[in-house]
Structure 1
Amino acid sequence: MFSWRAEVRPGIWVAFTNVAAGNLALHVGDDPAQVHRRRELLEQAAGLSPRRFQFMNQVHGKEVAVVGGGAPAGEPGTPAADAPTADALTADAMVSAGGPLAVMVADCVPIVLVGERAAGRDAPPVFGVVHAGRPGLAAGVVPAAVAQLREHGATGISAWIGPSICGQCYEVPDSMRAEVAESVPAAWCTTAQGTPGLDLPAGVRSQLAAEGVAVEYSGGCTREDAGLYSYRRDGRTGRFAGLVWTATPAGALT
């Protein structure tokens, strides 16, 4: 169910799912009831019940949404009306139900952010998740999410970068490479075939470094790993998720 999962701080978990967890997206033509059931099983595996992961309707922009608690359950078969339209979510565990957040990808870069407070590691954390595809990376969704965490009072922010397509596999037109590299120079690359490419993970790492955010984990390539969904490899496909949550509700943290 998980390609990677770890307790990154006492009581704070970060994970990235795989194809064994199934498609978690409602927008790819899958049966919505089945998608909701897979999300429920994922929440059970994470020990969240009755809390729910908060998903978002991702649009390849730079909007950051602030959420105040666990997602409502919703009804199987209904659209994600309760999900904010954004490409990053932040949650303050001081006021939210443990900040269970989710980001979905199938080649784009999923990023989980955890910020501490000045009071130290025993204080409630601040969380964020980011969907950084080519347009979002160029638009600055990563620094926008970091800025929002700092608005919550986060310090000592760390990042976990999930699996995404690597620069060796992500071929793009030369004009597109030049356009993205103009705003994110570190994303410029050449593929394994010697053609113009974009290294999205390198671009993300460069933006995090510029913001003073430490990267504690970086996943592999989605196109090269059959255990992960990849749009570039398969065309129509599902989505896996990057997740962050606390092992106990927010009320138990204070």
Structure 2
Amino acid sequence: MFRVLISPDANAGVGACFTDRHGGVTPGDLGSLNLGRTDVDQVSHVEANFERVRRAIGGPTLVTLSQVHSSDVVVVDDSFLSGWGPRSHLGSPGAVAPLSSADAMVTTRADVALVIRVADCVPVLLADPTAGVLGALHAGREGYLGGVVTHTVEAMRDLGASDIVAWVGPHICGRCYEVDEAMADRVASSHPHVVVASRWGTRALDLGAGVEQELVDQGVTAVRLDPCTLTTPELHSHRRDGADAGRFAGIIWRVSGVASTGVPGAAGTV
């Protein structure tokens, strides 16, 4: 169920995890723990998979977004949650309002878990345990180029965060994220350090390196827990599986009343 699991007890009250494709109920090639793709999976399967994950991390409300490859950030507060129902994270009946279209979330609440879903893009989980501020973002190519990383850090600081640590999760690596010449030239014009050579000798993008550098530039401690999705069968990958690709998740939550004795960044199963 978990590729990485960081316990709140060992991490200053902040729990974080990146799921894998195992331990759920979805049949077939999507992978049993599919946390998205309700277009090709039954909503009941995705709902059961979410519930298994929710219970495994202690039962917080799971909050999701309609991810659209933007650089927009939403604040998960009382107003955001006023329309949240028991099935809202599925984008299905039970919500007063549809899922927010954005690619990052920040919150100070200790009763929710922020959930980002991916299948090759870069999931990033962020926390300032002392200030009690959490963030989660989805850095696809367009969102990264648009500044979603910096926007999320700024939104966390607006909520009082100062000492932020970020965990960069599994995504397609630079050696495998092959792009055409036009795309490589476009990215090189603004982010030349992201353009690299693929394992086939063609041009490619290393979004993980770009995300890490932007975090560091923003004064954030970056911890990389990021095997390549394309070459790791236990993880969902759109490049590898195409229409049969499910979605795994990066999830971050906070437990009230846990002493800040852990070391942010300490990881469990990798």
TM range (shorter): 0.7 to 0.9
> Counterpart amino acid of 2:42?
D
Q: Partner of 1:14 in structure 2?
A: 16
The 3-state SS of whatever aligns with 1:155 is: coil
Report the residue type matching 2:106 in the other structure: T
Give the C-alpha shift of residue 27 in structure 1.
Answer: 4.4
Q: Which has the higher contact order (CA 8 A, sep 6+)?
A: 2
* Structure 1 residues not aligned, in runs of 5+: none
247, 257, 269: which is aligned to 1:239? Answer: 247
The size of the alignment, in residue pairs, is: 240
| Aligned residue number for residue 110 of structure 1 | 123
1:131 lines up with 2:138 in the alignment? yes
Query: Shift of the alpha carbon at 1:107?
Result: 0.2
In the other structure, the counterpart of 2:102 is 86
Give percent identity, aligned residues only: 38
1:54–1:83: 8 Å Cα contact kept in structure 2? no
1:41-94 superposed Cα distances (whole Å, 9 cap, x missing partner): 11001112xx311011000010101102675312778267553210000111xx
**Could you give the per-residue CA deviations for residues 15-39 of structure 1, whole angstroms, max 9, x where no partner exists?**
0000014111144421111111110
Q: Deviations over 1:158-184 (max 9, x none)?
A: 100000000100110111112123222
Q: 1:62·1:139 contact (CA, 8 Å) conserved in 2?
A: yes
In structure 1, distance between residues paired with 2:138 and 2:98: 18
* Aligned residue runs from structure 1 range 180-191, under 5 A: 180-191=187-198
Cα–Cα, structure 1 residues 44 and 183, in superposed 2: closer, same or farther, change >3 Å?
same
Q: How many angstroms apart in 2 are the aligned matches of 1:108 and 1:131?
A: 7
- Calculate the aligned-residue CA RMSD, in Å: 2.1
Alpha-carbon distance in structure 1 between the residues aligned to 2:258 and 2:85: 21
Residues 210 and 77 from structure 1, CA distance in 2 versus in 1: closer, same or farther, beyond 3 angstroms?
A: closer
Q: What does residue 55 of structure 1 align with?
A: 64
CA distance in structure 2 between the partners assigned to 1:141 and 1:185 by the alignment: 18
CA distances 1:87-114 after superposition (whole Å, capped 9, x unpaired): 000111xxx2434100000000000010
Cα distance change, pair 184–230 in 1 and its aligned pair in 2 (3 A): same
Matched, 1:101 2:119: no
Moved more, 51-60 or 173-182: 173-182
User: Cα distance, 1:141 vs. partner?
Assistant: 0.6
- The two structures have a TM-score, normalised by structure 2, of 0.83
Greater Cα shift, 157-166 or 67-76: 67-76
Deviations 1:205-229 (A, max 9, x none): 1111111111123311000100000
SS at 1:53 equivalent: strand
Deviates more, 1:166-175 or 1:2-11: 2-11
Aligned: 1:74 with 2:81: no
Deviates more, 1:78-87 or 1:134-143: 78-87
Q: Is contact 1:186–1:206 with CA below 8 Å preserved after alignment?
A: no
Match of 1:29 among 37, 40, 46: 40
Matching residue of 1:2: 2
CA contact (8 A) 2:37 2:246 kept: no
Asked whether 1:220 is paired with 2:238, we answer no
User: 1:200: Cα distance to partner?
Assistant: 0.7
| Unmatched tracts of structure 2, length 5 or more | 24-32, 260-270
